[in-house]
Amino acid sequence: MSDLRVRFAPSPTGYLHIGGARTALFNYLLARKEQGTFILRIEDTDVERSTQESVDAILQAMDWLGLSYDEGPFYQTERFDLYKEKVQQLLAEGKAYKCYCTADELTTKREAAMANGDKPQYDGSCRELTPREDDAPYVIRFKSKRDGVTSFNDKIKGTISFNNQELDDMIIQRTDGTPTYNFVVVIDDAEMGLTLVLRGDDHVNNTPRQIQIYQALGYAVPEFAHVPMILGADKKRLSKRHGATSVMAYREMGYLPEALVNYLVRLGWSFGDEEIFSMDDLVEKFTLDNVGRSAGVFNPDKLLWLNEHYIKTGDPQQLGTLLEEYLQQLGFQVPADIDLAEVVKTLQDRSKTMVEMAEKAAFYVCDELEYDAKAQQKFLTAEQKPVFEALIGKLESREFNAEGVEAAFKEVLKETGLKFGKVGQPTRVALSGGTSAPGIFEVMLVLGRERTLKRLRAAIERIG
Ligand code: GLU
């Protein structure tokens, strides 16, 4: 075990999105690589916007991606006593103060500052005020440093410095008594012993404020690493306009978690020109040194390409189990005698997503075959009838295995003098309803003797 302690700290105000998943993945990989500790903390202090549904969705998505954590999930709403205690400590030490400015006053001040061309900061008017005795509503503000510089050495971006003048006295406790993000995040990161805070770079501007709070509370300041954001192809911040941004939407669309993990890690990290990484590879190879400073651009085609790769190379047994779920979503119940691993073997070279595979697998498992009208018209013709009858006869008299099926077919070709395609394609239509099914022998073996014969007979009946 190393001392590395990292965390993922999502706010449960929606599903787990692509950017959050990448942050979680980077933290997970570092922890696994260094044999450190990965903590999950649910930042639900914004009680109005946080929902249990979002918590569940985030946990489910992490589970799906295989991002297991060692401690947590912790919930900030269960830690309010601790935060209150720390507010009191800062008040007692004169490092925080009650601010009685009303919303209207603040708006007026902000507007005046902006009219003057100044930054709309809180002017600190309550900073040196003696606390009032009446029960006027107040917020509690942190007394931030007035001059000097707060800097930190970001492990991805290098040294970042802020003039303390730029930082006004931020609110650490709202009028209703609830604490704010920038305050509690410090207490939790410190109390949970984090050694590195790795998060999205939308938090860079919060970091100097947070560092001052670490210092005020007498905590050691952890290291920071801010990951560049993810953009769409148009170089604008990734949003729904660019396609699905929810991790679980990709599952629904038939993506494998291996593909998404592989894709996400490459959004910002590289290892030479390698593109394919299993989770084990990543645990071995991932370092912050190879995380770039520029934003990653989301490329759905590349994700699809990776998905195709993982489907092609996946274990048929495992993919078969998954395929069953996708078939059920399409409304199909898989008959007990259909071996889905065998189905997968016939389709994994021709499916980019599991949804596509399920669509292509439907003919194997359906009760009532649906025939493509054109295919039926072209291939289920009167002259086909004796051919199917001959094939049924041959199949009935042989063992139903690879050799038997092939031999039956060959005999029919020999007796009828027809070319393979002339028998193969109509048979494919009879067995699958269309012309694009996998190899005819494989199809027969997956369907099994009874189903194959039944479908050939049904085709004869259709021909009439
Ligand atoms: N809860 C914050 C968010 O979801 C992250 C806080 C952090 O990583 O420091 O944006």
Question: What is the CATH code of the structural domain delimited by 78-227?
Answer: 3.40.50.620
Per-residue confidence (pLDDT) for residue 374, from 0 to 100: 97
Rounded to an integer, what distance in angstroms lies between the CA atom of residue 28 and that of residue 42? 16
Centroid of ligand 1 to alpha carbon of 138 (angstroms): 26
From the CA of 202, give the closest atom in ligand 1.
10
pTM of the entire structure? 0.94
Contact status, residue 373 vs residue 380, Cβ threshold 8 Å:
no
Per-residue confidence (pLDDT) for residue 214, from 0 to 100: 98
From the CA of 23, give the closest atom in ligand 1.
8
Is 157 part of the annotated catalytic residue set?
no
Per-residue confidence (pLDDT) for residue 119, from 0 to 100: 83
Per-residue confidence (pLDDT) for residue 167, from 0 to 100: 93
Per-residue confidence (pLDDT) for residue 130, from 0 to 100: 85
For the four alpha carbons of 354, 358, 361 and 364, in that order, the dihedral sign comes to positive
Please give the class, per CATH, of domain 314-365: mainly alpha
Residue whose CB lies within 8 A of the most ligand 1 atoms, among 43, 46, 62, 198, for a mutation test: 43
DSSP H or E segment with residue 293:
none
51: left (phi over 0), alpha (psi -120 to 50) or beta: beta
CB-defined site of ligand 1, < 6 Å: 9-11, 43, 185, 199, 203
Rounded to an integer, what distance in angstroms lies between the CA atom of residue 438 and that of residue 79? 58
Distances (CA, A) of 255 to 81, 99, 248, 351: 43, 51, 9, 11
Per-residue confidence (pLDDT) for residue 208, from 0 to 100: 98
Per-residue confidence (pLDDT) for residue 117, from 0 to 100: 86
- pLDDT tens digits for the chain (464 residues)? 789 999 999 999 999 999 999 999 999 999 999 999 999 999 999 889 999 999 999 999 999 999 999 999 999 999 999 999 999 999 999 999 999 999 999 999 888 888 888 888 898 999 998 888 888 999 999 999 999 999 999 999 999 999 999 999 999 999 999 999 999 999 999 999 999 999 999 999 999 999 999 999 999 999 999 999 999 999 999 988 888 899 999 999 999 999 999 999 999 999 999 999 999 999 999 999 999 999 999 999 999 999 999 999 999 999 999 999 999 999 999 999 999 999 999 999 999 999 999 999 999 999 999 999 999 999 999 999 999 999 999 999 999 999 999 999 999 999 999 999 999 999 999 999 999 999 999 999 999 999 999 999 999 999 98
Question: What is the CATH code of the structural domain delimited by 373-463?
Answer: 1.10.10.350
Residue whose CB lies within 8 A of the most ligand 1 atoms, among 6, 79, 203, 221, for a mutation test: 203
> How many CB atoms are closer than 10 A to CB 390?
17
Which sequence spans correspond to the domains of the chain? 5-69+230-304, 78-227, 314-365, 373-463
Topology alike, domains 314-365 and 373-463: no
N- to C-terminal Cα separation, the chain: 74
DSSP annotation of 433 reads S
Q: Which one of the listed residues 236, 240, 378, 410 is annotated catalytic?
A: 240
DSSP annotation of 230 reads E
For domain 5-69+230-304, say whether CATH 1.20.120.140 is its number. no
From the CA of 10, give the closest atom in ligand 1.
4
